[in-house]
Structure formats: structure tokens, C-alpha cells
């Protein structure tokens, strides 16, 4: 089922203008959750979600004069359940005692504070895989409930795709924003590393954890990013980093061992997407940013498993039976990564980033385009799919966004677009044109 609610930028404008009442709009989204979530299972259950959300919306409505309403005034937002939110217990998809993570008294995450400052209302906590890893919850893909929505930000992606909320927060350490967005047929944006603070977010791998977001279209992603990212410059403003949005960027196709990891059907769909962009007038060049792809991927794996193992070492020693099998295996693997190896993989992030930038300079590439996942969503909710197409970009900390780009076997696939480090404004400004050319959002 496709989304039926109004996209974020449009509904936010209507709320700010007084064309929508925040309390009534919150009630409508609660109706949508009541209708869809028993099947999709994107949100954790609450005793009185409607009463809490409408009360919060009323509080927001009373807090601002019509001329001073902030950008996300009255917008309900889903928040991935590794992010601390006042009034909610963070459980992280785990059976471990939540008191280990701070219980109900953990300080609210900085990104949630920014949402509140922007006028947003927390609609609820969304389902995550265990500790944002590989052990999935029960969330289903709204386009076909026999298929995974992806992960680890499973609930956030599914909630936006099912029209239950126009905006949701996720995190990405491998491919946990870009991939589920592709599987669910929506937009997923992972900013440059550390562009959104991770204070108050349960750590998986501090060296590559990113906070990201889900929306229905690129305009919504730009609006949300402007409220959440450090130092965001609006297009045309002083210090604008969005670049010349009137011209078409040169697109780089990352040929070689990296692209070879896509499934045949996913690669065929990607080639069709690139052909459509070329027909629309975009210049496409082919380059090889990851000649040593296997080494880069190994560095990312050792870094993330090594850091998550150290993060959980004390808890694991006491509560090992409480961990799900795949999480426990990851921790055991990470404990075998030496401190020396870990230091080397941390240093490798910037070297990889510099190599990618160097290839962009040499080939005249403005942004990379590539599959957001090897193919469409696998036909099981016991897996979240493979993050192989996302990991090298995440390791390098580069900004990435996926836009819907057609279907394979009736399921959505996405086009992943990657820019230079720190060029988030420019990336989102340029991707809007790509989405238009593909006839998506």
C-alpha cells in the first residue's frame, strides 16, 4: 500500500499557515496508526497514544503566535527506539533490562530536543532491530507484508511508507536508513558523519553511527534536515552550500568490484535508472572509487563489530543469555578485533574519504549514483537484507540519500545518491532534480 497522507513539506506549511489544526491533524495520524499498525507493527504500543499526542499538539499550538511558528510546527514524528525521548523507556529492541540504558531517567537526545525546538510532536517510538543490529523485530513492509521493510530502522521506514507519519528518525551504521527507505519506496537521508549530534542515542559504533531521517519526498527531507543538521544553510542564504542548483550535476557510476555486489535484477534496474537520467540530459561518467572494495568493507566490518563489542562487553558478560543469537555472534566476533586493528580502521575512514574525493576530482563527478540495496526487499521478515551497497559510503562518512526509482517484481527499489563530505545541502538540492527526472518524488 502506498502512502496516503500529505508529504511533510506540504503539511508543515499548512500547519504553520493555520490551514490545518495541529490537534485535529494529530488525531488523524492516530487514526492512521490504529488502522494500519496492527498489520505493519511499526510502532511500539502505548496505552493512550491519542491522548498523549493530542495533548502535546495542543501544547505546541498554544506556545506560538501565528507569525512565529517554527518549521515543524505541529508535525508528529516517529522516533527509533535507540533514541532517548522524555516520557518513554528506551528498550532498543532488546530483552535486556532497560535500566542499563538509563531507564526512564535518561537525558533526552539532542536530536529530539531539536525536533521539539522546531515545533514537532513525538508520535511514538518505532521498532528497531536489537541494538540497531541484525536481529529484526516484527515490522513488515507496507508494500507486501511478507517482505522485510529493511533495518535496522525498520519501524521508522515502514511508518512513513504506510502514511502513519510524515517524518521519522532513524540511524545508520551500515545501511540502516538508505536501505529500508529503498525497500519501502520512500526517501531516506543520512547526513555527513557528525552533522546531526548523537548525544542521547544508544551507541553502536561511535566512529560511524549517523542519525538520519525518512520522509515521503525530497522537499520534506530538505525541510527536516534544515532543522536537525548543524550549521544548515538554506538555498540562497549567506554561506549557502547548495551550489548552483540550476545546473545539472555530473553523475558518477562507481563501476568495479563494488557495483558487482548488486543482484542481477537490482543491477538491471540501476542501469535503466542511469539510462533514464542520461536521456533527461545528465552527463554520466564511469569511475572506480573502490578498487580495493573488499579491504574497505573489511575495515568497516572490523570497526563496527569491534566497537559494538566494547560497548556491550560488560553487559554481555552478565546478560549473555538475554541477547539474540545474531547479536551475540556479532559481539563475540568483535571481541576478537585487536585494539591495534581497531585504531587502524578508525584511521582508514578519512583515507577512504580522501580517495573517493580524489576520484571525483579526477573524473569530474559531482555526485555518485548507485543502487540503494542489492535488489528489492527479501521475502522474509527474518532478515533485513544486505547493507553491502551502503557500507563503504557510511564508513567514509559521506552524505547519502535514496529516492524511489521504480519497482522490481512489484516491490520498490531506490537510487542511492552520495555527495562530498559536508555537502549535504548541495546533495539534497541536486537530488530533487534527479527524482523529477525519474518521475518519482
Same domain (yes/no): 187, 223: yes
Q: Domain holding 29: CATH number?
A: 3.90.1300.10
Same domain (yes/no): 282, 399: yes
Same domain (yes/no): 268, 193: no
Same domain (yes/no): 43, 137: yes
> Is 97 a member of any domain?
yes
Same domain (yes/no): 208, 256: no
Same domain (yes/no): 199, 272: no
> Is 313 a member of any domain?
no
Q: Which of the residues are catalytic?
A: 80, 152, 176
Residue 78 contacts residue 126 (beta carbons within 8 Å): yes
Residue 370 is part of which domain span?
A: 251-289+365-438
Q: In what order do the strands lie in the sheet with 210-215?
A: 121-126, 76-80, 167-172, 210-215, 187-190, 400-408, 411-418, 367-371, 251-254, 284-287
- Work out how many domains the chain is built from and give that number: 2
Same domain (yes/no): 222, 255: no
> Is 85 a member of any domain?
yes
Same domain (yes/no): 256, 201: no
> Is 245 a member of any domain?
no
Same domain (yes/no): 279, 133: no
Residues contacting 262, CB < 8 A, separation 6+: 270, 371, 374, 375, 389
Residue 425 contacts residue 220 (beta carbons within 8 Å): no
Each residue's pLDDT expressed in tens, for the chain with a length of 441 residues = 446 679 999 999 999 999 999 999 999 999 999 999 999 999 999 999 999 999 999 999 999 999 999 999 999 999 999 999 999 999 999 999 999 998 777 899 999 999 999 999 999 999 999 999 999 999 999 999 999 999 999 999 999 999 999 999 999 999 999 999 999 999 999 999 999 999 999 999 999 999 999 999 999 999 999 999 999 987 545 555 554 445 799 999 999 999 999 999 999 999 999 999 999 999 999 999 998 999 999 999 999 999 999 999 999 999 999 999 999 999 999 999 999 999 999 999 999 999 999 999 999 999 999 999 999 999 999 999 999 999 999 999 999 999 999 999 999 999 999 999 999 999 999 999 999 999 865
> Is 304 a member of any domain?
no
pTM: 0.97
Same domain (yes/no): 215, 284: no
Same domain (yes/no): 48, 91: yes
Amino acid at each position: 500500500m502506498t502512502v496516503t497522507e500529505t508529504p511533510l513539506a506540504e503539511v508543515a506549511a499548512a500547519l504553520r499557515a493555520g490551514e490545518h489544526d495541529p490537534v485535529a491533524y494529530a488525531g488523524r495520524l492516530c487514526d492512521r496508526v490504529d488502522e494500519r499498525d496492527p498489520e505493519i507493527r511499526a510502532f511500539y504500543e502505548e496505552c493512550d497514544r491519542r491522548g498523549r499526542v493530542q495533548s502535546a499538539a495542543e501544547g505546541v499550538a498554544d506556545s506560538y503566535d501565528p507569525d512565529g511558528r517554527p518549521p515543524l510546527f505541529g508535525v508528529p514524528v516517529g522516533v527509533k527506539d535507540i533514541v532517548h525521548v522524555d516520557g518513554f523507556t528506551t528498550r532498543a529492541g532488546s530483552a535486556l533490562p532497560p535500566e542499563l540504558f538509563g531507564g526512564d531517567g535518561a537525558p533526552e537526545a539532542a536530536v529530539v530536543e531539536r525536533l521539539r525546538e522546531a515545533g514537532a510532536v513525538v508520535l511514538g517510538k518505532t521498532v528497531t532491530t536489537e541494538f540497531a543490529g541484525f536481529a529484526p523485530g516484527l515490522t513488515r513492509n507496507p508494500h507486501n507484508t511478507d517482505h522485510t521493510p529493511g533495518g535496522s530502522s525498520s519501524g521508522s521506514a515502514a511508518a512513513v511508507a504506510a502514511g502513519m507519519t510524515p517524518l521519522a528518525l532513524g540511524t545508520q551504521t551500515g545501511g540502516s536508513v538508505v536501505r529500508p527507505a529503498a525497500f519501502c519506496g520512500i526517501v531516506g537521508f543520512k547526513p555527513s558523519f557528525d552533522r546531526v549530534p548523537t548525544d542521547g542515542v544508544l551507541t553502536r559504533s561511535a566512529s560511524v553511527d549517523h542519525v538520519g531521517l525518512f520522509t515521503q519526498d525530497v522537499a520534506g527531507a530538505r525541510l527536516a534536515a534544515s532543522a536537525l543538521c548543524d550549521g544548515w544553510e538554506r538555498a540562497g542564504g549567506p554561506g549557502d552550500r547548495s551550489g548552483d542548483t540550476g545546473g545539472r550535476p555530473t553523475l558518477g557510476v562507481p563501476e568495479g568490484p563494488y557495483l558487482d555486489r548488486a543482484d542481477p535484477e537490482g543491477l538491471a534496474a540501476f542501469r535503466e535508472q542511469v539510462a533514464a537520467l542520461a536521456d533527461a540530459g545528465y552527463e554520466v561518467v564511469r569511475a572506480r572509487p573502490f578498487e580495493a572494495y573488499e579491504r574497505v568493507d573489511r575495515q568497516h566490518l572490523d570497526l563496527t563489530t569491534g566497537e559494538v563489542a566494547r560497548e556491550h562487553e560488560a553487559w554481555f558478560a552478565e546478560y549473555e543469555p538475554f541477547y539474540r543469537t545474531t547479536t551475540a555472534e556479532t559481539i563475540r566476533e568483535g571481541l576478537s578485533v585487536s585494539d591495534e586493528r581497531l585504531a587502524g580502521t578508525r584511521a582508514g575512514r578519512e583515507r577512504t574519504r580522501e580517495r573517493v574525493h580524489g576520484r571525483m576530482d579526477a573524473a569530474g563527478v559531482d555526485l555518485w549514483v548507485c543502487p540503494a540495496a542489492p535488489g528489492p526487499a527479501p521475502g522474509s521478515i527474518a532478515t533485513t537484507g544486505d547493507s553491502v551497497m551502503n557500507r563503504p559510503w557510511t564508513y567514509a562518512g559521506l552524505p547519502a540519500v535514496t529516492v524511489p526509482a521504480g519497482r522490481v517484481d512489484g516491490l520498490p527499489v531506490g537510487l542511492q545518491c552520495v555527495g562530498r563530505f559536508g555537502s549535504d545541502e548541495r546533495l539534497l538540492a541536486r537530488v530533487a532534480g534527479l527524482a523529477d527526472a525519474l518521475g518519482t518524488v
